[in-house]
């Protein structure tokens, strides 16, 4: 195919970051229909928007991982999401032991259930709550925070960090000359990182001297010759990956699942009545509104043709998993939350050798949290006096979720 035969994509010039963050679906729907692999000027990058093209690129031997420019500016190097070869293998070897299913099974119940109970106790007698801030996010950050060894960092501080890192990471707008369009958008991320270092550095000092069973302590010591630890500069970018995505996304996933269920009251009732449906409800929740909507990328390692588009070596492509999960070629009425849709695999956790390392942990954290929520408040209703707004292009979820119940 030559360039002249391609559909006219000049409408893409009008698309702004703010549009995408408010609601990316319309733009991506059009991309899926007209150009499943397209150059999107505001992002300064190619974008893969269908299920097929995302999966093909994520699992292709002709592509490897690359971090997006705003992501790289936020995390620094070597972040696990943006490295390949031996460094990627070493970082995966470092983080995986704590996330292996058999390992997670050992402690996940004892870790998450008491945390969920503790937050529920703070409001279950109130008859109303805002679940994103009072439940979904706190349970998400506290569970992972305790696993990492950050017991002494308040949940609200962890929430503040992921929010700042998240906005910085997705400050993706580029000028025509390939410069960041809003460099000031990185300031709050830099401030968060400075604060993180001031708190985590002393902990690292402690773990170097006295290893314990926390995940970060293991990252420092595991697989290293006696007396040596991994350099902290080497692990910080991956600590930031955790303090952003791994902290934020289980909360997004829970909240989106709840909003989806509220849109189908009979399905909510089914799930409340039969907690064994919670995992299925969550799988559909993260398909319906994918928490990591478009945050990771791949880069071609040689000239390739994908979806009829010739890409030279070194072309970066953003993976729009949130769009792929709304692909009408694969899902009927993808914009509807439906617990009972044919349960085809989705791409909410990505694909290929950079697929999410925390799937098992994340799924079980979300499961236990929702089980406890429905157990404590089986008569939960959405507070219809308040609307529900979703926000985000890189990462997406409801900004708040007001609920009521009879007490």
| Interaction site with another protein (CB under 8 A) | 96, 100-102, 272-276, 279-280, 283, 342-345, 349, 351-352, 355-356, 359-360, 363, 374-379, 405-407
Question: Binding residue for ligand HEM (CB under 6 A) from 17, 43, 132, 144?
Answer: 144
Shortest Cβ 395–ligand HEM spacing (Å): 9
Residues between 34 and 73 with contacts to ligand HEM, criterion CB under 6 A: 58, 65
CB 344 within 8 A of CB 367: no
189 binds, among ligand HEM, another protein, none (CB under 5 to 8 A by kind): none
Binder of residue 279, out of another protein, ligand HEM, none (CB less than 5 to 8 A by kind): another protein
Buried/exposed 296-319: b ≥16 CB within 10 Å, e otherwise: bbbbbeeebebbebebeeebbbbb
From the list ligand HEM, another protein, none, which binds 204 (C-beta under 5 to 8 Å, kind-based)? none
> Cα–Cα distances in Å, from 235 out to 14, 87, 93, 239?
39, 11, 12, 6
Q: Is 362 in the site for ligand HEM (CB under 6 A)?
A: yes
In angstroms, give the least distance from the CB of 390 to ligand HEM.
15
* Partner whose footprint covers residue 406, from another protein, ligand HEM, none (CB < 5 to 8 Å by kind): another protein
**Residues 164, 190: contact at Cβ < 8 Å?**
no
Contacts with 311 (C-beta within 8 Å, 6 or more apart), sequence order: 46, 300, 303, 304, 305, 317
Among residues 153, 283, 254, 256, the alpha carbon closest in space to that of 144 is found at 153
* Buried/exposed code over 204-220 (b: 16+ C-beta within 10 A; e: otherwise): beebeeeeeebbbbbbb
Cβ proximity of 71 and 44 under 8 Å: no
Residue 378's binding partner among another protein, ligand HEM, none (Cβ under 5 to 8 angstroms by kind) is another protein
Residue located via tokens 């939350």: 337
Which range binds ligand HEM by CB under 6 A, 22-30, 168-176, 197-205, 290-298? 290-298
DSSP 82: G
Q: CB nearer to ligand HEM: give 204 or 283.
A: 283
Residue 183 to residue 69: CA distance in whole angstroms: 12
Residues of this chain that interact with ligand HEM (CB under 6 A) are 58, 65, 80-81, 92, 95, 99, 144, 241-242, 245-246, 249-250, 253, 286, 291-292, 296, 319, 321, 348-352, 354-358, 361-362
């Amino acid at each position: 195919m030559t360039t002249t035969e391609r559909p006219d994509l000049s409408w893409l010039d009008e698309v702004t970051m703010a549009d995408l963050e408010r609601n990316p679906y319309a733009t991506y729907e059009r991309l899926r229909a007209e150009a499943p692999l397209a150059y999107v000027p505001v992002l300064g990058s190619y974008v893969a928007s269908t299920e097929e093209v995302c999966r093909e690129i994520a699992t292709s031997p002709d592509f490897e991982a690359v971090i997006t420019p705003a992501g790289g500016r936020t995390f620094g190097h070597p972040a696990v999401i943006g490295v390949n070869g031996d460094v990627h293998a070493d970082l995966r070897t470092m983080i995986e032991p704590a996330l292996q299913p058999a390992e997670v099974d050992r402690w996940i119940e004892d870790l998450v259930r008491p945390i969920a109970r503790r937050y529920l106790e703070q409001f279950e007698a109130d008859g109303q709550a805002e679940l994103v801030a009072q439940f979904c996010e706190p349970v998400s950050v506290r569970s992972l925070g305790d696993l990492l060894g950050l017991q002494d960092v308040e949940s609200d501080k962890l929430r503040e960090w992921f929010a700042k890192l998240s906005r910085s990471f997705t400050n993706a707008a580029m000028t025509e000359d390939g410069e960041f369009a809003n460099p000031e958008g990185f300031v709050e991320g830099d401030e968060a990182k400075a604060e993180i270092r001031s708190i985590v550095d002393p902990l690292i000092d402690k773990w170097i001297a006295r290893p314990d069973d926390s995940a970060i302590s293991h990252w420092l010591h595991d697989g290293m010759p006696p007396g040596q630890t991994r350099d902290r500069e080497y692990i910080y970018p991956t600590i930031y990956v955790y303090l952003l995505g791994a902290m934020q996304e289980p909360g997004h996933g829970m909240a989106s699942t709840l909003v989806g269920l509220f849109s189908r009251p009979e399905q909510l009732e089914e799930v409340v009545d039969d907690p064994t449906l919670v995992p299925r409800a969550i799988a559909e929740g993260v398909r319906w509104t994918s928490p990591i909507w478009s945050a990771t990328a791949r880069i071609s390692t040689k000239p390739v043709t994908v979806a009829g588009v010739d890409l030279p070596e070194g072309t970066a492509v953003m993976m729009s998993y949130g769009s792929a999960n709304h692909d009408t070629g694969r899902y009927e009425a993808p914009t509807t939350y439906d617990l009972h849709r044919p349960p085809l695999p989705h791409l909410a956790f990505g694909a290929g050798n950079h697929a999410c390392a925390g799937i098992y942990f994340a799924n079980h954290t979300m499961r236990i949290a929702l089980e406890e929520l429905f157990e404590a408040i089986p008569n939960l209703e959405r507070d219809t006096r308040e609307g529900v707004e979703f926000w985000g292009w890189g990462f997406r979820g409801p900004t708040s979720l007001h609920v009521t119940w009879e007490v």
